[in-house]
Structure 1
Amino acid sequence: MKLKSIALFLFCSLFGFAQNIQNNPTGNHGNKFEQLGTILPTPNVYRTASGAPGHQYWQQRADYEINAYLDEEKLNLKGSETITYYNNSPDDLEYLWLQLDENQQSSIKNANYQSPSTLAEYSTTDRLRTTDLPAKDNGLGVNIEKVTDASGKAIPYYINKTMMRIDLPKILKSKEKITFKIEWNYNIPDRMKNGGRGGYEFFPEDGNHLFTMTQWFPRMCVYSDFKGWQNNQFTGRGEFALAFGNYKVTMNVPADHVVAGTGECQNYSQVLSSAQLSRYKQAENSSEPIEIVTLDEAKKAEKSKSKERKTWIFEAKDVRDFAWTSSRKFIWDGMRVTIPENGNKVMAMSLYPKEAYGLYRKFSTKAVAHTILTYSEYTIPYPYPVAQSVEAANGMEYPMICFNFGRTEKDGTYSEGTKNGMIGVIIHEVGHNFFPMIINSDERQWSWMDEGLNTFVEYLTEERWDNKFPSKRGPAHTIVDYMKLPKDQLEPIMTNSENINQFGPNAYSKPATGLNILRETIMGRELFDKAFKTYARRWAFKHPEPADFFRTMNDASAENLDWFWRGWFYGIDPVDIAIDKVTVAAPEFNVDPKPRERTYTVDKPQVNSFEDISKIRNREDKNIQFYTDVDKETRDFYWRYARGLEKVDTNKKYTVKSDNTEKPSSADIERLKNIRAYQIDFSNKGGLVMPIILEFTFEDGTKLNDKIPAQIWRKDENKVSKTYYFDKKLKSIQLDPMRETADIDTSNNFWGEIAEPVSKFNVFKQKQEGSARGAAKGMVNPMQAK
């Protein structure tokens, strides 16, 4: 039975069904503030109770040498790679697991995680087709040509959907390494039609392609102390868990293509024209973006379509992945950024087609620079030599390179929504360099550790970009609509990526909002920032788990935040604190104090009301001697009283007078005459405990504020009262005036006069059209109307 319990616990731990265990589920206290010790994994030599890596912490490493051939005419990629895998674990390994993410694009090789479907109100000609039973091969997915050892000898392998297992010819012992080779190819999907993160976009106006090569090569799965092999299937949602390593990658592409990728190009002098190389060197020392490949050069390349080929060579160190892009449509600009904390000189760069020129030339590279500088302040100094943003009508991140949207109208104008959306997505995707590319959490298991932490720092960075920036995720009030949903539509943040119903609010918004509430309302900025930087520093270039984050934030701040992690991350209760009643009382001074009288009877003997079995047996036991029998000097009045040997009338009443009060002095009366007591009764209607934030408004127009810590709920999680004393008349009380706590019902947050709305406005759903993300077609924007 014990073994079965352990197995069930391990199953729940591995697959993310975290239980919000309660200590006192039927009581009104002892639940919300119970420690997380019953939920978090036991600390060990790999991960400490403080949240830091342990003295025996280890992680695997994988180095890659990759050759790629991009066939634009056939829309095919052919590749070969040599992987050197280092087994730094204490375990011996008999097989290895690799990810084949392109198989998710296949109709027959994908993970087959289906979702329910219903009759659609409309469809498109591209998507409307008969159901194939059995499914027909759409020609997508990875074709493995061969797997060999370093000498060329074949190694057996087995493919299960999006995962490939390599059976090693001999056990890979602890502290040993192995080198093996893989050759593969696949047909590149049209990501504008099929979706997904990588593929091509075709521009019919000029007959060119823009390729985003992502998740494009067989990649090592993570083997870790907390999971073993992270070989959960790739379903298109939960992203990646990857090992760090060094990369050398060569890309053979059409000669007029411009290529950007993870890391630094090693042969610009061979692939760029002399003018472009000169402009690149100029950009290396410029504080403003300089066009390396100009708009005119990109327009000319669109028309030429060279039949020749060039090879670009890139190298990257200490990265967990490699992505690249290739197109003859690219304009390319860049500038140098110096990170103050470590003096690192970074090339901030952007690549974009002419369709995005009016926005990207103005904003993209500067947004890249702003992001790495701001994130460096809040986490760790940016360590890499490059940070790049590529306009590709989508949003996705990889080390040192990311893909974003942001195209103008044909006349070069753009809407405010497109501009802000573009800046926001650039900040978000560039920010992913920190979470999870450096602070390398397991996205396949816990999306919030990637998306949520990153969205939080994105919000801080947007705020630093423009004080009026319309951030949609981060402020407490923006999560209210999600938090008030029926509970059967919600799940805890601590839920596996594949099982989340409302993915955006759960994985992005709610964790980001929670951290912002911690920073602004619960901990304060300075303390929170110190703890958050400690987490980033501890786990940079390592694999943190949720417990490591929770424990570090507690450890580095001296704040016991388990109540917050329990409620916000493990629970689905919302915040709804109400002012139920306010009782007002005033002091009285005109009553002459009289001696106080108290009537009482004397106490009966202090003996047990029931002679229990232990007392009876002790008396019967001849070996036991009671001290008061041995030393009869200890038999005082009360010894005799307990045995009825002293006669006392316990019914007689006695009166005692106490004359220790006097009438207040005239000075005291004058000083205290205007004081009023206000007892405020609160109820926790939502279930999630939170600080009680109050704004008091007085009749003279002045205001006072108070913030009661959440711990006031620790002895009664449902109802509490707090009494205040003021020497001027209170006009009204406002609960959570700045909407800091994500309270889902503000109608019960006020006592006193309630002001009527001064105006009304209409609400409607805006219709958005256009295939590219961020586009707003069919409307006149302010730039066009000026």
Structure 2
Amino acid sequence: MRYTLEKLSFLFLGLFLVHFAGAQQVEENNQGEFNDFTYRRGNIYRSATGKPGPNYWQNGADYKINVTLDDEEHTITGSIAIHYTNNSPEALDFVWLQLEQNRFTEDSRGTLTTPIQGNRYNGDTDGGYELTNVSATVGKRGAASDKYLVSDTRMQVFFSEPLPAKGGEATIKMDFSFKIPVKGMDRMGRLDVEEGTIYALAQWYPRMAVFDDVKGWNTEPYLGAGEFYLEYGDFEYAVTAPADHIVVGSGKLLNPSEVMSKEMQNRMDQAMKSDTTVYILKPEEVADPSTRLKQDGTLTWKFKIENSRDVAFASSKAFIWDAARINLPSGKTILAQSAYPKESDGIEAWTRSTEYSKASIEHYSEMWYEFPYATATNVAADIGGMEYPGFNFCGYKSKGESLWGVTDHEFGHNWFPMIVGSNERLYPWMDEGFNTFINHYSTLAFNDGEYPSDLNQTRKYIAYFNRETREGIDTYPDVVNVNNLGMTAYMKPGIGLIMLREYILGHERFDNAFKSYINTWAFKHPQPTDFFNHMENVAGENLNWFWKGWFYGNENIDLSLDGVYPYGGNYVLALSSKGGIPMPVVIEVTFVDNSTERFTLPVEIWQRGDQWNHLYKTDKEVKSIEIDPDKVIPDINISNDKWPSQIYSEE
């Protein structure tokens, strides 16, 4: 049956009168949804504008590490010297370090909190650190202390005298070793392939815990889902490996002439001048000993990276190795490189890895903030996907769209949390969610959309938002149901930023604020309130209602167009907000002549209550009206977004 506008208006007139009358009555308002929901006032350390305050500080840690890889015993053995600077306003009697390899023991907290059926974060239990020769010295002439204690994945090292505030320096040294796990909780480990073993080394050295102005020492144990929170500093590290191995790592290789044949060096020089991929070690050369600098013994590969929070590396005699030039907006050029076994070779697979890596780094550098490191390295391993500064581990079986997606995602992490150093262990949405958001635009840009973006249609996630078992973004990663982690840490916060850019603020206001946030907090430690405050101050918008509802709540969006009625030659739109999260209302009107008009009602209409009547003035006959015509918001009930509704349309 086809209904005319007059018939529809008559049908809904009674409903409208009830709606109109109810909306005019005094009712409880929704001001609580628009008020501050947490302490967001500034102080001397963090300003109300979401910037570091006049007395902001953070401590620093510079590392010098030397390790040897034993490919028969599958062990790492080495020494570390950490130069630690206490920029805080208080003296420190001790420091805390992270010992993530201790997760791989039978009695670790992570092992004991893993469900019987297991999950992604299963790991070997025959590992853990052996530590010797521990010493901690304040200044250059202080007495060395050998007092320390180890508690699960944390290590407390004591000083013989307090480490002075506001610039006091100390040196912490120790020797360490551990057995490299096969299964390293999908973040590190080893993989046997036909030509040898791939060693993916991460969380491989004792790392300084963060001491900040918010919590003091951040000593949350490493359980599995929660990732990392680390200080910034300069790293110099050397890896001694069998002579037939190729070693790639975070940062710049300092001694190519000492570890690479002349032919490899020439090819690397070609790659640094090429926008297409150049082989450093070809597939047919992997098993040929003559391609190496020497045939037996060991070689020591030396790397350096500055202003970084971490380093990772990989070593194997099974690597195919290729590279290409990355062009940065400043005119600087750096290196994209990939290392993978012949099992991953092929134009539909890892042969395109360097192409993907180059495109990803170039896009993010142009759109958000320039990549700061000398190399961007992608390594094939038995790891779904894991990121470190300038360095990825990605699944060695990944191909095509899957390989692009994981490569782009892991490289995106260089912006969150490698450049913007948020606390992943507590707030995964500040790195995973923000990264998922920037991945959306990188994927749209790559080869003019060769692969689809997961965030192209937010409404495909409505099934999750309608589940009673859904959880909020603010749920801690080690507490959240593993089945929900993908939504709470990745997709929901990513969708939140999509809504901010595409629906609430618009591109210009959002981009100004988001770029400013990245630039302001680059190589620093922002908290959630710093992000909220900074976005609001730069964009010029009070977004309490959005942060509270979407990021710190578990309600949903359900905007409803309850009816459309003629009124004095114009139209009254009866609207309601049936979900727990208010939103601006983007409305598209289609006229009988098929022309259209759009307008937006501000979010403040919902401060007064959950119903609103809008008088739409026009001298044209209206054919249909729709809320959110571009389907940007994941409105959980699409049946009440249009007028006439589907049930009145001709079948």
TM-score by length of 2: 0.89
- Superposed, which structure 2 residues align to 1:149-164 within 5 Å? 149=136, 155-164=146-155
Shift of 1:182: 1.0
Verify: 1:327 aligned to 2:355, yes or no: no
SS at match of 1:390: strand
CA 1:160 to 1:431, structure 2 compared with 1: closer, same or farther past 3 Å?
same
1:301-342 C-alpha deviation (Å, 9 max, x unpaired): 5999965211111111111101000011111111222211x3
User: How does 1:484-523 map onto structure 2 within 5 Å?
Assistant: 484-486=466-468, 489-501=469-481, 502-523=484-505
Q: 1:241 aligns with which of 206, 229, 237?
A: 229
Contact 2:45 2:53 in 1 (8 A): yes
The residue number in structure 2 matching 1:180 is 172
Cα offsets for 1:435-492 (capped at 9, x unmatched): 1111111111111111111111111111111335322246422432222221xx2333
Counterpart residue number, 2:629: 737
Within the alignment, does 1:568 sit opposite 2:542 as a pair? no
C-alpha separation between the residues in 2 aligned to 1:541 and 1:695? 43
Residue 71 of structure 2 corresponds to residue 90 of structure 1? no
Partner of 1:148: 135
C-alpha contact (below 8 Å) 1:694/1:737 kept by paired residues = yes
Q: Distance in 2 between matches of 1:85 and 1:275?
A: 41
Per the alignment, residue 21 of structure 2 pairs with none
When residues 303 and 379 of structure 1 are mapped into structure 2, their CA distance, relative to the original with a 3 A threshold, is: closer
CA distance in 1, matches of 2:525, 2:306: 17
Q: Is the contact between residue 472 and residue 554 of structure 2 (CA under 8 Å) also seen in structure 1? A: yes
Matched, 1:425 2:406: yes
Q: Which residue of 2 aligns with 1:397?
A: 387
Letter in 2 for 1:28: N
In the alignment, the residues of structure 2 paired with residue 710 and residue 170 of structure 1 have an alpha-carbon distance, to the nearest angstrom, of 57
Cα distance change of structure 1 residues 302 and 44 upon mapping to structure 2, 3 Å threshold: farther
Deviation at 1:582, TM superposition (A): 2.2
Unaligned runs of 5+ in 2: 1-26
Distance 2:485 2:606 in 1: 31
1:380 partnered with 2:369: yes
> Does the residue aligned with 1:477 lie in a helix, a strand or coil?
helix
CA contact (8 A) 1:196 1:236 kept: no
- Equivalent pair of 1:301/1:329 in contact (CA under 8 Å): no
- Residue aligning to 1:663: none
Q: Percent identity?
A: 36
* Residues 178-217 of structure 1 mapped to structure 2, 5 A cutoff: 178-191=170-183, 195-203=185-193, 205-206=194-195, 208-217=196-205
**For the Cα contact (< 8 Å) 1:350–1:360, is it kept in 2?**
no
Q: For residue 503 of structure 1, what is the amino acid of its counterpart? A: L
Q: Which residue identity lines up with residue 331 of structure 2 in the other structure?
A: G
| Higher relative strand content | 2
- Going from structure 1 to structure 2, the CA distance change for 1:699 and 1:301 (only over 3 Å counts) comes to farther
Alignment partners' CA distance in 2, 1:298 and 1:702: 64
Contact 1:109 1:141 in 2 (8 A): no
Per-residue deviation at 1:736?
A: 2.0
**What do residues 373-394 of structure 1 show as CA deviations (whole Å, max 9, x unaligned)?**
2212332211211111112142
The whole-number CA distance in structure 2 between the counterparts of 1:217 and 1:196 is: 18
Q: Which has the larger radius of gyration?
A: 1
Distance 2:288 2:28 in 1: 74
Residue 576 (structure 2) aligns with: 683
Kept in 2, the 8 Å contact 1:475–1:513? The answer is no
- What are the equivalent positions in structure 2 for 1:195-594 lying under 5 Å apart? 195-203=185-193, 205-206=194-195, 208-300=196-288, 307-340=296-329, 342-358=330-346, 359-360=348-349, 362-394=351-383, 395-407=385-397, 418-465=399-446, 466-467=448-449, 469-473=451-455, 475-486=457-468, 489-501=469-481, 502-585=484-567, 587=568
**Letter of the aligned partner of 1:40 in structure 2?**
Y
Report the CA distance between 1:31 and its aligned residue.
1.8
SS at match of 1:251: strand
Q: Distance in 1 between matches of 2:509 and 2:112?
A: 43
| Alignment correspondent of 1:44 | 43
Report which stretch shifted further, 729-738 or 453-462: 729-738
Aligned-partner residue type, residue 273 of structure 1: S
| SS of match in other structure, 2:418 | coil
1:767 paired residue number? none
Report the residue type matching 1:92 in the other structure. Answer: A
Partner of 1:705: 598
Q: Does the 8 A contact of 2:474 with 2:488 survive in 1?
A: no
Query: SS in structure 2 opposite 1:217?
Result: coil
Cα distance 1:266–1:360, how it changes in 2: closer, same or farther (>3 A)?
farther
**Aligned-pair distance for 1:289?**
1.5
Within 2, Cα distance between the matches of 1:344 and 1:569? 38
Structure 1 Cα separation of the partners of residues 152 and 40 of structure 2? 31
8 Å CA contact 1:679, 1:722 repeated in 2:
yes
Given that 2:103 and 2:153 are in contact with CA atoms closer than 8 Å, whether structure 1 keeps it comes out as yes
C-alpha RMSD over aligned residues: 2.5
1:338-369 Cα distance to aligned partner (Å, 9 max, x none): 211x3332111111111222145542112212
Change (3 A) 1:734 1:292: same
Residue range with higher mean Cα deviation, 465-474 or 739-748:
465-474
**CA separation in 2, counterparts of 1:212 and 1:531?**
37
CA contact (8 A) 1:452 1:507 kept: yes
The alignment partner of 1:543 has SS state of coil
Q: 3-state DSSP class of the match of 1:434?
A: helix
Query: Partner amino acid for 1:96?
Result: V
For the 8 Å contact 1:145–1:185, the answer to whether it is kept is no
How far is 1:756 from its partner? 10
- For the Cα contact (< 8 Å) 2:63–2:82, is it kept in 1? yes
Shift of 1:699: 2.7
The answer to whether the Cα contact below 8 Å between 1:352 and 1:360 also exists between their aligned partners in 2 is no
Cα 1:308–1:526 shift into 2, 3 Å? same
Question: What do residues 124-147 of structure 1 show as CA deviations (whole Å, max 9, x unaligned)?
Answer: xxx9xxxxxxxxx94211121231
State the AA in 2 paired with 1:217: Y
1:141 and 1:303, CA in 2 relative to 1: closer, same or farther beyond 3 A? farther
Q: 1:725 aligns with which of 608, 613, 617?
A: 617
C-alpha distance in structure 2 between counterparts of 1:731 and 1:758, whole Å:
14
Deviations 1:30-64 (A, max 9, x none): 12222x2x513431111000011111111111111
- Comparing 348-357 and 319-328, the one that deviates more: 348-357
Q: Which residue is 1:27 aligned to?
A: 28
Whole-angstrom distance in 2 between the partners of 1:236 and 1:323: 18
Residue 598 of structure 2 is aligned to residue 693 of structure 1: no
Aligned AA (1:52): K
Code of the aligned partner of 1:272: M
The Cα offsets for residues 105-163 of structure 1, whole Å up to 9 and x where unpaired, read as 21123445625557x9xx9xxx9xxxxxxxxx942111212312469956111111110
Aligned pairs, number = 611
- 1:698 Cα deviation (Å)? 2.6
- Paired residue type of 2:179: N
Structure with the bigger RCO (C-alpha within 8 Å, sep 6+) is 2
Q: CA deviation at 1:235?
A: 0.5
Q: Is the 8 A contact 1:290 1:334 kept in 2?
A: yes
- What amino acid is aligned across from residue 529 of structure 1 in structure 2? D
Counterpart amino acid of residue 399 in structure 1: P
- Unmatched segments (≥5 aa) in structure 1: 1-25, 128-136, 409-417, 588-675, 760-786
1:758, 1:65 → 2: CA distance? Answer: 74
| 2:349 and 2:400 in contact (8 A); partners too | no
- Alpha-carbon contact 1:259-1:324 (below 8 Å) kept: yes
Q: Is the contact between residue 357 and residue 407 of structure 1 (CA under 8 Å) also seen in structure 2?
A: no
Aligned runs of 1:23-172 on 2, under 5 Å? 27-34=28-35, 36=36, 39-112=38-111, 114=113, 117=116, 138-149=125-136, 155-172=146-163
Aligned-partner Cα distance in 1 for 2:450–2:323: 27
